[in-house]
Chains A and B, each alone.
Chain A
Amino acid sequence: MTLADARARVPELAVADADPAADRHWLERIADACDRFTPLVEAEPPDGLVLDMSGCLHLFDGEAGLIVAVEASMQRWASELRLAMAATPEGARALARFQSVPARDEAAALRRLPVAALELDAEAERSLRRAGLKRLGDLADRPSAPLAARFGSALIDRLDRVLGRSDSRITPRRALPALMLERRFAEPIATADIAMTVIGDLSGEAATILEERRRGGRRFVARLYRSDGHVIDLSVESGLPLRDPARIQRLFEERVGALADPIDPGFGFDMIRLAVPHDEPLAAAQLALEGGEAREEVVAALIDRLSTRVGRHRVRRFMPRDSHLPEQASLALPAIELTSPAAWPEPQAGEPPLRPIHLFDPPQPVEVPDGPPQRFRWRRTLHEVARTEGPERIGAQWWRRVPDDPGLTRDYYRVEDVRGRRFWLFRHGLYGDERADPRWYVHGLFA
């Protein structure tokens, strides 16, 4: 039916453009809300979800209680809901989408499904129906070898999965965490402060369990589930494995303090979950001889706190790299990742410093007549050169050169002007060989 036909039949029809991205986003949000039932949720676009409830049913008073809870929480998201439970994900999907008559139990219901529930291509479905196999029960009674020969073994696999003869796992959206603790509240919590207190309690419980296992966590994720379905995620990380509840609580407080908007409880939080995605070995606390904490731990705690507050990319440490290009000779990596110091090369005795302590990215252009520079203009100031050392030739990375884009060689000069300021200038491109008009740049400042 085209839009014009539809409009002709129902003149007051409301029309909106299809927006698959928004639909996907909506489905993801429902999947987030379903996280409160089980951590293993898979989304089946455009409009389906599969929840793996193994091991979680006892939290909901059995299957009946679960159905009541799901229907209550899905009311906000969708007006039409079809749900079904089965032993395998494909079976549950088939029942939810294709069941039309009630049955006395799961096996009978599955056998009564039409063959369309196998979701084969139209050709195979037509041939099944022409052969007189209209229901899954008919297929199940037949021997499987002739069916496989006629229709392919994919049919038999699919049939086994739907009927529950063979099992498969879903691919959940999030991996199962190493440790997960929950608190549910009959009366939703109304303020963010109480929620933080609960997170503190959960951290204490997590600390006990981690201590028994002799492990610690480097990431802690707290999820606050609002009673209207919205989920708030808070995640903190640390450089060294951690299980001290006071430190975890402080990191969460920093994270909450650094949020752009304060946490909005809405109508209240009815569940709070603390998860440790991965745990790592952590021995009992090491004490230094003079009775203080180990120095590395104290500095690591400071780095954790600052990284949580301003973002992990803003707190950095340097790592050396093996490259002759000066701008690639080192990396500034987030300090929360680097825990062991790196070794830097020592300078040669008797040599003045050959590398600047400030480096510009990108190098700043200057105007200079050719040759070892005698004067140059930078940032609107003319600098008269008193002393130079150079050139130090740093070639391009010829092994990475694209054939029609040769890299340019740089000739570096250490330059000091009459007032004592020391610069690192370079000429970009060899005069004549590589460029007719090579440009000059200042790449760094010396002490």
Chain B
Amino acid sequence: MSESLRLVQRRVALIERRRSSAIPQAQSFVTSGHLAIDQVLGGGLMLGRMHEVLADRDNAGSVSGFAALLARLVGGETLWLTEEAAWRQAGALHPAGLAAIGIDPARLIIGVLPDAAAVLRAAVDGLRCPALGSVMIALMGDPRALDLTASRRLALAAETHGVTAILLRLGGQVAPNAAQTRWRVAAAPSAPMAADVPGHPAWDIELMRQRGRPDGGRWRAEWNREQGRICDWGEAGGTALSGAVVPVPVDRPAAARSPLRQAG
């Protein structure tokens, strides 16, 4: 089949999907697993849109974890774009750590670009590649290149091609932009495990704004690695103590990913 014919087919499919998007289809959002959050979101996090996550600079590790887990829930390959200054200041992503929270590092493509303008340009290119699952844009502060026009371009590219964009801003100020949802995330003390050691990743999540739906809501949640979902604070550790779980050897090859849970 020639390339132009394939392109036309894809375009027609997108137009048809957009026209009937008044009814949310099964594939157009992904559940986070946390019942209250999913309820406020109207089912789950919308795919093919831009979502913004804000945090303070000293919460770098926690918010990266949160954003990475959102990307993991969305599924597919992730293009992680960041500025060189941010990479050096907040530390480079460590794939062993990503594997430790249940993300497969082989699904990540990292782009460390000289400045914010290059990051945004590469992000638009990434969003135009429908084979990707999500594009993570990690910026520090308030770069001048990120204005309303730029964010609208990102949102439009995300919507046209069905790739989810996650805009991660460390130390950024709230500014109007074209994001579908805006979150503020901070680190929270984890639910202690046996012998009072730090446990699974935990956050204080606040949904600041949601397009088209009522916003608001604060939750303290943590990541349940075994079930692959965000759960209420204190629930993740509970599964570890129940039953006689056979310990898994550390060097077992990566198993197949569990399929996305779909609602509706």
Interface residues of A (CB under 8 A from B): 287, 291-293, 295-296, 298-299, 301-303, 305-306, 309-310, 314-318, 320, 326, 329-330, 332, 335, 341-361, 379, 381, 386-389, 414-416, 418-423, 444-447
Nearest chain A CB to B124 CB, angstrom units: 11
- With contacts A346-B255, A446-B61, A447-B61 taken as known, whether A357 is within 8 angstroms of B189 at the C-beta atoms is no
Contact of A291 among B6, B199, B202 (CB under 8 A): B6
Contact of B192 among A298, A341, A344, A387 (CB under 8 A): A387
Decide if B61 touches A389 in the complex (CB within 8 Å): no
Among residues 234 to 259 in chain B, which have CB atoms less than 8 Å away from a CB atom of chain A?
239-241, 245, 247-248, 250-255
- Chain A residues contacting B198 (CB-CB under 8 Å) are 352, 387-389, 414-416, 422, 446
- Give complex CA distance A293, B5 in Å: 11
Q: Chain A interface secondary structure, helix, strand, loop or mixed?
A: mixed
Decide if B126 touches A302 in the complex (CB within 8 Å): yes
Nearest chain B CB to A17 CB, angstrom units: 39
Nearest chain B CB to A299 CB, angstrom units: 5
9 A/B residue pairs, CB under 8 Å, sorted by A: A291-B1, A317-B106, A332-B110, A350-B239, A356-B94, A359-B93, A421-B62, A446-B97, A446-B198
B112-128 interface bits toward A, Cβ cutoff 8 Å, 1 = contact, 0 = none = 11100010001001100
Q: Count A-B pairs with CB separation below 8 Å.
A: 232
- With contacts A310-B122, A318-B95, A350-B240 taken as known, whether A387 is within 8 angstroms of B196 at the C-beta atoms is yes
- Give complex CA distance A164, B210 in Å: 84
- Chain B residues contacting A358 (CB-CB under 8 Å) are 60-61, 64, 90-94, 97
- Chain A residues contacting B100 (CB-CB under 8 Å) are 347, 353-355, 357
- With contacts A358-B97, A420-B202, A447-B62 taken as known, whether A352 is within 8 angstroms of B197 at the C-beta atoms is yes
The segment from B19-27, B129-137, B141-149, B171-179 found at the interface with A is B129-137
- Give complex CA distance A287, B62 in Å: 41
Among residues 79 to 109 in chain B, which have CB atoms less than 8 Å away from a CB atom of chain A?
79, 90-102, 104-109
Taking residues whose C-beta sits less than 8 angstroms from the other chain, chain B's interface range is 35 or more
- Chain A residues contacting B94 (CB-CB under 8 Å) are 326, 330, 355-359, 444
Contact of B122 among A291, A306, A360, A419 (CB under 8 A): A306
Closest 6 CB pairs of A and B: A447-B65, A445-B61, A358-B91, A350-B240, A389-B197, A357-B97
- Give complex CA distance A355, B95 in Å: 9
- Give complex CA distance A343, B98 in Å: 13
- Give complex CA distance A234, B16 in Å: 42
Decide if B125 touches A305 in the complex (CB within 8 Å): yes
- Chain A residues contacting B129 (CB-CB under 8 Å) are 298-299, 301-302
